[in-house]
């Protein structure tokens, strides 16, 4: 199937203003919604926030009033789209519920992108980040039970595993060594460019959501957990955005943003199972085709370039959601001890090969000096029910002590670190069974 968004018929910018009643739609049902309808909604909110924010950044660097007028009008549409998408969230969906949705996006989206990424180095970076968000999901799942009595599978629907990943206390790096080598804009495929922009948008929105909502709980350990993981999301934004070629012109970046929006909405439209929400993805695909064609005209006019040279002639599918358990387990078992090498190669190494003076040890010692909140999370659940909350097959659950042994740095451990022996004790106790009220 071929879909050249530059040639498809979209909605022109002048016809994109909608009424407030159309902008604010009826929310989905927290219990009945398909988990991947929720992940699409979460991701597309992040895509729209980036689309809006980028256009402000663009305007602040442009002294061309005619160009800025066009940007201003499209930017308002992005903002209205963002309201529509984000406000599909029902008011009864708690912050922790939504948080589990965010980490499900991170895990299953990153796994999908890694398997559809032509650039090996970019793929490796996706796999590296994957195991960190996977651990965040595990930590937040403990809180979903401790604070709200919820089963994480109420949100995840059994599609994404909940067990320990690379321990969050080891995600704190010298932010400078997070920076990766960027692709070359002249040789990288449109798929690579769209994949990265999709993930940057998702990670940025995750950061913003934690920054804006982590204070909404009274429990200090939970507040600190949000602060700790929010900071890791800042590292993720830094890492993924550094893959983008910074020499792309602003108009080239504009075109890539609109192309990413067309691709993601179209992918959502193709996959959506909720007929009412499918209509939103369909309408917004047509609106984004209008934005893309406007951006294409601008790049032809100002830079005398053919937009097809930048985005190609076919669409890419950057956000197909399906269960990625097998892929994630494989990365988990093989790459949990992977670390940033901190050298000018901007590459990866393993814990056993880290030098004594590795830059991130100092950061980890500084922030974890009074204890790591994400370790405290597991200390708290262990004190409450003798073991952790997990959702996975028994074989993987039993592997937790082994995974921790391989994935935890012996250096710079927080004083409240849950030990490998603690995990051995926990795996000897039957997993927690949620009662009928959770259904």
- The structure tokens listed for 309 are 């040279």
Query: 3-class DSSP state for residue 287?
Result: helix
Rounded to whole angstroms, the Cα distance separating 227 from 230 reads 5
> 119 or 288: whose CB is closer to Fe ion?
288
Instruction: From 74-82, 187-195, 317-325, 367-375, give the range in contact with Fe ion by CB under 5 A.
Output: 74-82
Rounded to whole angstroms, the Cα distance separating 175 from 395 reads 35
Rounded to whole angstroms, the Cα distance separating 201 from 181 reads 19
Binders of Fe ion in range 355-384 (CB under 5 A): none
Instruction: From 54-62, 197-205, 330-338, 401-409, give the range in contact with Fe ion by CB under 5 A.
Output: 197-205
Asked if residue 78 binds Fe ion (CB under 5 A), the reply is yes
CB 200 within 8 A of CB 365: no
Asked if residue 294 binds Fe ion (CB under 5 A), the reply is no
Q: How far is the CB of 101 from Fe ion (least distance, A)?
A: 12
Among 6, 42, 43, 51, interactor with Fe ion by CB under 5 A: 51
Q: How far is the CB of 43 from Fe ion (least distance, A)?
A: 12
DSSP tag of 391: B
Asked if residue 256 binds Fe ion (CB under 5 A), the reply is no
Residue 372's nearest CA partner among 225, 173, 166, 179 is 225
Among 75, 166, 182, 236, interactor with Fe ion by CB under 5 A: 236
Asked if residue 261 binds Fe ion (CB under 5 A), the reply is yes
Residue 282's nearest CA partner among 253, 307, 252, 262 is 262
Kindly write out the interface string for residues 103-142 of this chain, putting x where it contacts Fe ion by CB under 5 A and - elsewhere. Answer: ---x--------------------------x--x------
Asked if residue 50 binds Fe ion (CB under 5 A), the reply is no
Element counts in the chain: helices (H) and strands (E): 18, 2
Q: Tell how far CA 363 is from the center of its chain.
A: 23
- The structure tokens listed for 121 are 């180095």
Phi then psi dihedrals of residue 408, to 5 deg: -100, 130
Q: How far is the CB of 318 from Fe ion (least distance, A)?
A: 15
- β-partners of residue 348 are 340
Instruction: From 59-67, 160-168, 258-266, 397-405, give the range in contact with Fe ion by CB under 5 A.
Output: 258-266
Which positions touch Fe ion (CB under 5 A)?
48, 51, 78, 81, 106, 133, 136, 203, 233, 236, 258, 261, 288, 291
């Amino acid at each position: 199937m071929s879909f050249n968004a530059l040639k498809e018929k979209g909605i022109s910018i002048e016809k994109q203003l909608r009424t407030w009643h159309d902008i604010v739609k009826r929310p989905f049902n927290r219990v009945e919604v398909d988990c991947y309808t929720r992940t699409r909604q979460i991701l597309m909110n992040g895509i729209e926030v980036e689309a809006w924010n980028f256009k402000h950044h663009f305007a602040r660097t442009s002294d061309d009033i005619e160009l800025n007028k066009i940007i201003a009008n499209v930017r308002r549409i992005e903002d209205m789209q963002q309201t529509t998408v984000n406000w599909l969230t029902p008011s009864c969906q708690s912050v922790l519920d939504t948080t589990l949705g965010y980490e499900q996006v991170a895990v299953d989206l990153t796994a999908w992108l890694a398997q559809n990424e032509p650039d090996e180095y970019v793929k490796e970076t996706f796999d590296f980040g994957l195991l960190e968000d996977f651990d965040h999901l595990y930590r937040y799942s403990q809180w979903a039970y401790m604070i709200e009595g919820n089963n994480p599978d109420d949100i995840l629907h059994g599609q994404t595993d909940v067990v320990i990943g690379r321990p969050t206390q080891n995600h704190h790096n010298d932010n400078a060594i997070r920076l990766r080598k960027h692709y070359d804009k002249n040789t990288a495929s449109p798929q690579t460019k769209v994949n990265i922009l999709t993930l940057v948008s998702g990670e940025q929105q995750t950061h913003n959501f934690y920054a804006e909502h982590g204070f909404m709980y009274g429990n200090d350990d939970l507040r600190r957990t949000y602060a700790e993981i929010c900071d890791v999301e800042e590292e993720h934004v830094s890492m993924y955005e550094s893959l983008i070629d910074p020499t792309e012109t602003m108009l080239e970046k504009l075109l890539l943003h609109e192309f990413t929006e067309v691709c993601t909405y179209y992918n959502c439209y193709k996959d959506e199972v909720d007929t009412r929400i499918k209509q939103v993805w369909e309408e917004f695909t047509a609106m984004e085709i209008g934005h893309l064609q406007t951006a294409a005209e601008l790049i032809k006019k100002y830079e005398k370039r053919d937009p097809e040279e930048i985005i190609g002639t076919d669409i890419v599918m950057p956000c197909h959601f399906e269960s990625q358990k097998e892929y994630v387990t494989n990365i988990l078992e093989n790459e949990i001890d992977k670390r940033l090498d901190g050298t000018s190669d901007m590459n990866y190494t393993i814990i056993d090969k880290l030098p004594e003076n590795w830059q991130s040890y100092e950061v980890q010692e500084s922030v974890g000096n009074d204890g790591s909140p994400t370790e405290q999370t597991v200390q708290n659940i262990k004190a409450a029910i003798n073991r952790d909350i997990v959702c996975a097959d028994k074989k993987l659950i039993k592997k937790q002590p082994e995974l921790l042994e391989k994935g935890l740095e012996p250096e710079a451990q927080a004083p409240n670190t849950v030990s490998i022996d603690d995990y051995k004790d926990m795996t000897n106790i039957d997993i927690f069974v949620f009662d009928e009220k959770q259904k």
